[in-house]
Amino acid sequence: MIFGIALIFFISVLSYFYIKALGKKSIVREIIKKFFKKEVSDNNGMIAVENDVFNFFQFQNKSFKKGFVLSILRALVMQARGWILIFFLGNWIGFFPSLAILGFTYLSSMIPIPASLGAHEAVQFYAFTSLGLAASTATAFTMIIRAGEIVVSSVGLIFLIKTGFNLLGNKIINYDKSQQDS
């Protein structure tokens, strides 16, 4: 029931945003007028940010197109990853039935429950049993997915730390040079 309510809420908010964004109608003005009973001027910082967001979501925007394509590619890679992982766990299901598993993965990540509480496992248990797969496969599937994500996150963290130290080192070297020159 929680998942259903969260899904309906998420779809409603997203639909409202896209309808307003495509019509270039201000959401900020509407919210401030409704809750605070005030008018917002055109030079307000929130209106400027809202206009930047609206400009990003225009179909002519190259950044929007790149982001859209990257999102589709990410979803396809996640779908292929799940489908291949299920195959290696000893089960064979079609590519399209495995979309349900990907959908439930997205659904479990939408709900603000810490992963340690087993929300992903619980949701995948339902998806796997609905597809006629063993419940133990769902647990193994989620643990392997998490382990893979931890590895990728760790590699990203290493690069982030390395880049941070390189930037810090460059700042210190430049500071030392400026101190010697003066």
| Residue-wise pLDDT tens digits, 122-139 | 888 888 888 888 888 888
Are the CB atoms for 130 and 100 separated by under 8 Å? yes
Q: Does residue 110 form part of some domain?
A: no
- Determine the pLDDT at residue 116: 55
**Strands of the chain, DSSP E:** none
| Residue-wise pLDDT tens digits, 68-115 | 999 999 999 989 988 998 889 888 888 888 888 888 888 777 666 665
pTM of the model: 0.64
13 or 118: which leads in pLDDT: 13
Give the domain range for residue 43.
1-58
pLDDT level of residue 182 (50, 70, 90 thresholds): low
CA atoms lying within 13 Å on the CB side of residue 5: 3
| Residue-wise pLDDT tens digits, 164-174 | 888 887 777 77
Residue written as token pair 């225009």: 58
Tell me how far apart the alpha carbons of residues 54 and 68 are, in angstroms, rounded to a whole number: 15
Q: Does residue 41 form part of some domain?
A: yes
- Determine the pLDDT at residue 115: 54
Q: Does residue 67 form part of some domain?
A: no
Q: Does residue 32 form part of some domain?
A: yes
Are the CB atoms for 6 and 119 separated by under 8 Å? no
